[in-house]
C-alpha cells in the first residue's frame, strides 16, 4: 500500500507542488472550456446561487414578455378591426350622400344603393367577429388581463367592447329601400354616431397599447440587466485564464524537472551500496 512507501522530504514536497499545479491547471482548463469561473456551488456558493436567482428571474420575465407580446397583438387586431369598420362606415356614408343626390323618382337606383348599404353592414358584423387574436376578441366583449411579474401583483386589464357590430352601433339597415330622404338622413345620423363611438374605442385601446409597449420595453431592459448581472458574477476573464494556463503549464514542467532531480538525489544514495 502507498501508506507503506516512504518518500524523502524533497520528493514529497515536489510531488505536492506538482499535484497542486495539476489541480489548478484542470480548474483553468474547465473555466476556459465553459467560459465561467463559477461552474457549481463548490466554486462559490453565494455567487453561484445569487447568479442562479438572477437567471431564474430573467427566465420568468421572458415568459411573461411573451404574454405581453400576445396582448399587444390582440389590441392591434382590435384596432385593425375598428379601422376597417370605420372605412366601411365611411363607404356607407358615401352611399347615403349618393342616394340623397338621386331623384326620388329614380327608385331603382335608390334601391340598389340601399342594397349595397345593407351589404356593407353585413361586412361590418363579420369584421367585428374576425378581429380576435389567439382566442381573444376585444370587439366581441372579451376582456384581457396581462401580468407583468411572476406573482401577478402588477397587472393591467383591457376591457373588451361589444358594440362594434352594425346592430350594436345602432346603424339600422336601409328602410323602405331609401324611397324617402328622411330614411337616408336617419342612416347618416346613425353612421355619425357610430363613427364617434368607434373613435372613442380606438382612443381607449390606443392608451392601453401605449402602456403595454412601455412595459414591454421595460421588461426587455430588466431581462438584459438581470442576465448581465448574473453573467458578471460567474463568467471568467478568458484573457486572464489564458495567461494562467500558460503560466501553469510552465510551472508544471518545472515541477516535473524538480521532481526528477529530487529522485536522482535518492538514487545517488542507492549507488553507495553498489
Q: What is the pLDDT along the chain (274 residues), one digit of tens a residue?
A: 455 655 556 666 767 777 787 777 777 787 788 788 888 888 889 999 999 999 999 999 998 999 999 999 999 999 999 999 999 999 999 999 999 999 988 999 999 999 999 999 999 989 888 999 999 999 988 999 999 988 888 899 999 988 777 888 888 888 889 999 999 999 999 999 999 999 999 999 999 999 999 999 999 999 999 999 998 898 877 787 788 778 878 877 877 776 676 666 556 555 555 5
**For the domain 45-136+165-233, what is the CATH code?**
1.20.1330.10
pLDDT on residue 1: 42
DSSP category for residue 119: H
CB 213 within 8 A of CB 75: no
pTM value?
Answer: 0.72
pLDDT on residue 31: 75
Which residues, at least 6 apart from 87, have a Cβ–Cβ distance to it below 8 Å? none
Which residues, at least 6 apart from 231, have a Cβ–Cβ distance to it below 8 Å? 51
Provide the grid cell at 104.
Answer: 326620388
pLDDT on residue 78: 93
pLDDT on residue 153: 87
Hey, where are the domains in the chain? 9-34+241-271, 45-136+165-233
CB 180 within 8 A of CB 104: yes
CB 75 within 8 A of CB 138: yes
CB 249 within 8 A of CB 21: no
pLDDT on residue 273: 55
Closest CA to 238 of 20, 23, 25, 34: 34
Amino acid at each position: 500500500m502507498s501508506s507503506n512507501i516512504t518518500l524523502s522530504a524533497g520528493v514529497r514536497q515536489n510531488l505536492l507542488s506538482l499535484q497542486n499545479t495539476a489541480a489548478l491547471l484542470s480548474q483553468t482548463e474547465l473555466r476556459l472550456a465553459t467560459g465561467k469561473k463559477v461552474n457549481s456551488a463548490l466554486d462559490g456558493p453565494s455567487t453561484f446561487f445569487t447568479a442562479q436567482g438572477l437567471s431564474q428571474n430573467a427566465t420568468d420575465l421572458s415568459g411573461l414578455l411573451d404574454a405581453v407580446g400576445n396582448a399587444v397583438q390582440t389590441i392591434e387586431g382590435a384596432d385593425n378591426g375598428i379601422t376597417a369598420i370605420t372605412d366601411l362606415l365611411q363607404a356607407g356614408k358615401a352611399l347615403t350622400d349618393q342616394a340623397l343626390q338621386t331623384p326620388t323618382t329614380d327608385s331603382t337606383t335608390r334601391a340598389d344603393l340601399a342594397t349595397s348599404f345593407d351589404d356593407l353592414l353585413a361586412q361590418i358584423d363579420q369584421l367585428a367577429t374576425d378581429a380576435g387574436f389567439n382566442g381573444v376578441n376585444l370587439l366581441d366583449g372579451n376582456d384581457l388581463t396581462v401580468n407583468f411579474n411572476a406573482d401577478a401583483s402588477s397587472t393591467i386589464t383591457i376591457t373588451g367592447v361589444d358594440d362594434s357590430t352594425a346592430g350594436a352601433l345602432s346603424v339600422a339597415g336601409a328602410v323602405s329601400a331609401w324611397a324617402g330622404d328622411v330614411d337616408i338622413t336617419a342612416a347618416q345620423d346613425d353612421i355619425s354616431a357610430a363613427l364617434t363611438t368607434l373613435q372613442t374605442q380606438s382612443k381607449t385601446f390606443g392608451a392601453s397599447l401605449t402602456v403595454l409597449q412601455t412595459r414591454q420595453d421595460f421588461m426587455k431592459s430588466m431581462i438584459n440587466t438581470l442576465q448581465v448581472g448574473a453573467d458578471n458574477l460567474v463568467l471568467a476573464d478568458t484573457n486572464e485564464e489564458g495567461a494562467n494556463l500558460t503560466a501553469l503549464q510552465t510551472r508544471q514542467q518545472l515541477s516535473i524537472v524538480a521532481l526528477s532531480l529530487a529522485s536522482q538525489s535518492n538514487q545517488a544514495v542507492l549507488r553507495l551500496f553498489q
